[in-house]
């Protein structure tokens, strides 16, 4: 063979297209411990919202359309996933268009995880919100943040290490890490909000000039550029928080001795220095996540339908159909139409079915966090030029499953810390 003739024997797709790591998020998201953590968090989240609703909202305040166009603004977060929508029984299923509308709904399930975490705090700044609604969103948002700071922190810890270096951290080690880093997970998104509040307080003090009549309005008009500067600072902080808050948690899961200040700093740095890469990674994650959610939804529906089919051989199809139809009724309708024992049995069937759908909802959360772990590693490589396999877990070798010999962290001169196998 001459020097001009060469044979291509292998292609390193990971180096050629590093963003392909996003597709590995699905494998991490469907792991049983990860799904279990997400399911528990999904089931715990509405508890705080119900408490907040009972404290700050009265029944007449939950006529939502008069205040907000989107009905999930007030009250709806207090309901458990899977129990709020009526599902047709088998005989009522009709052919549907499986084209764009279905996929858009699937992709929106992944995007709604991002929106659902941001919406409570965004609603706090809605000028139409009353004091009671502000308190409702504040308490509910803090509860949601606390729940996912613990469970989301554990999920990201269990996902970022396998994605980076193909090792696995067990559930106990991930929970220990999340408990130890809980202040960082919880405070990191609140730190920028504090900045917005401080600037807002300064502008509120400036607004007192407008109450002073003609001379006050004149002075305020001359100094209005200060209002614009304050608004600019608030916009910068808010937009950085809006797009960067998930990266704050991944920082705490991937880096050693990270506090909430460093988590905020990295998130703002990555979103500011690599916005186009971030947008591309997010689009890929959402599109792929929509396909994954369709698969999860199909698996859940198949589980329910096949279970009904098996039961129908013993109970009869008519009885199973009647039970399924009854699970779509409200509690008041059940009380009017069914005796107590049958009503309780139907409610238990509905609860188990809702739990199955809650697992599907939990998959959207687990995939979201796993995908963001991949996005964080990609952005860190784009901005800091740190290899994607550089994550910290030197203190958790005891929690590794199928672990190789102990790992050591070395710091070559002039380079960022890296993980090297010791022989």
Domain boundaries, given as residue ranges, for the chain: 25-409
- Burial (Cβ within 10 Å: 0-12, 13-18, ≥19) of residue 2: exposed
Please compute the mean of the pLDDT values over residues 370-398 and round it to a whole number: 82
**pLDDT over 80 at 261, yes or no:** yes
Q: What is the pLDDT of residue 105?
A: 66
Global confidence as pTM:
0.80
The torsion region of residue 415 among left (phi > 0), alpha (psi -120 to 50) and beta comes to: beta
- 349 membership: H or E segment, kind and range: helix 340-384
**pLDDT over 60 at 418, yes or no:** no
Residue with more model confidence, 383 or 317: 383
Contact call for residues 109 and 364 (beta carbons, < 8 A): yes
CA-to-CA distance for 65 and 60, rounded, in angstroms? Answer: 12
Q: What is the pLDDT of residue 71?
A: 41
**pLDDT over 60 at 258, yes or no:** yes
Please compute the mean of the pLDDT values over residues 131-153 and round it to a whole number: 90
Return the half-sphere exposure (C-beta side, CA atoms, 13 A cut-off) of residue 204. Answer: 6
Q: pLDDT tens for residues 325-355?
A: 777 766 666 656 677 777 788 778 888 888 8
- Burial (Cβ within 10 Å: 0-12, 13-18, ≥19) of residue 88: exposed
Q: What is the pLDDT of residue 97?
A: 44
Q: What is the pLDDT of residue 410?
A: 38
Backbone φ and ψ for 124, nearest 5 degrees, come out as -60, -30
**pLDDT over 80 at 86, yes or no:** no
CA-to-CA distance for 109 and 240, rounded, in angstroms? Answer: 23
The percent of residues above 90 in pLDDT, for the chain, comes to: 30
Please compute the mean of the pLDDT values over residues 245-259 and round it to a whole number: 88
Q: pLDDT tens for residues 71-85?
A: 445 555 667 776 534
pLDDT averaged over the chain? 79
Around Cβ 387, how many Cβ atoms within 10 Å?
Answer: 16
Minimal CA–CA distance to 366: which of 81, 107, 142, 36?
A: 36
**pLDDT over 60 at 422, yes or no:** no
Q: pLDDT tens for residues 152-184?
A: 999 999 999 999 888 888 899 999 999 999 999
Residue with more model confidence, 66 or 223: 223
Q: pLDDT tens for residues 95-114?
A: 344 444 665 666 777 777 88
CA-to-CA distance for 290 and 103, rounded, in angstroms? Answer: 7
CA-to-CA distance for 191 and 210, rounded, in angstroms? Answer: 30
Q: What is the pLDDT of residue 312?
A: 84
Helix axis angle, 340-384 to 224-254, nearest 10°: 100
Please compute the mean of the pLDDT values over residues 365-386 and round it to a whole number: 92
């Amino acid at each position: 063979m001459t020097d001009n003739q060469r044979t291509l024997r292998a292609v390193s797709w990971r180096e050629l297209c590093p963003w392909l790591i996003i597709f590995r998020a699905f494998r991490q998201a469907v792991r049983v411990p990860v799904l279990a953590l997400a399911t528990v968090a999904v089931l715990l989240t509405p508890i705080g919202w119900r408490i907040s609703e009972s404290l700050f909202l009265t029944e007449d305040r939950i006529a939502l359309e008069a205040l907000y166009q989107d009905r999930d603004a007030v009250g709806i977060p207090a309901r458990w996933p899977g129990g709020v929508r009526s599902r047709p029984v088998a005989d009522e299923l009709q052919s549907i268009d499986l084209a764009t509308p279905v996929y858009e709904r699937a992709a929106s399930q992944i995007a709604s995880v991002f929106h659902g975490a941001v919406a409570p705090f965004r609603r706090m700044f809605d000028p139409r919100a009353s004091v009671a609604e502000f308190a409702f969103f504040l308490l509910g948002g803090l509860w949601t943040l606390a729940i996912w700071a613990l469970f989301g922190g554990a999920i990201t810890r269990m996902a970022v290490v396998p994605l980076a270096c193909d090792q696995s951290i067990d559930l106990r080690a991930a929970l220990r890490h999340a408990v130890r880093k809980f202040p960082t997970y919880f405070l990191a998104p609140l730190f920028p909000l504090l900045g917005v509040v401080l600037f807002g307080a300064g502008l509120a003090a400036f607004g007192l000039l407008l109450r002073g009549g003609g001379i006050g309005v004149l002075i305020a008009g001359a100094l209005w550029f200060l209002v614009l500067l304050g608004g600019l600072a608030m916009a910068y902080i808010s937009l950085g928080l809006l797009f960067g808050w998930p990266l704050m948690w991944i920082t705490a899961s991937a880096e050693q001795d990270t506090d909430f200040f460093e988590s905020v700093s990295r998130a703002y740095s990555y979103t500011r220095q690599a916005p186009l890469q971030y947008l591309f990674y997010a689009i890929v994650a959402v599109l792929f996540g929509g396909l994954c959610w369709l698969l999860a939804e199909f698996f859940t529906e198949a589980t329910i339908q096949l279970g009904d089919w098996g039961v129908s051989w013993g109970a009869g199809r008519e009885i199973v159909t009647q039970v399924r139809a009854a699970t779509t009724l409200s509690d008041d309708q059940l009380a009017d139409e069914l005796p107590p024992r049958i009503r309780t049995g139907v409610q238990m069937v509905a609860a188990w079915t809702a739990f199955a759908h809650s697992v599907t909802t939990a998959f959207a959360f687990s995939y979201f966090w796993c995908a963001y772990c991949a996005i964080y590693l990609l952005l860190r490589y784009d901005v800091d030029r740190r290899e994607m396999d550089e994550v910290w877990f030197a203190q958790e070798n005891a929690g590794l499953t199928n672990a190789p010999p102990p790992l050591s962290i070395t710091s070559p001169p002039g380079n960022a810390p890296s993980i090297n196998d010791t022989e």
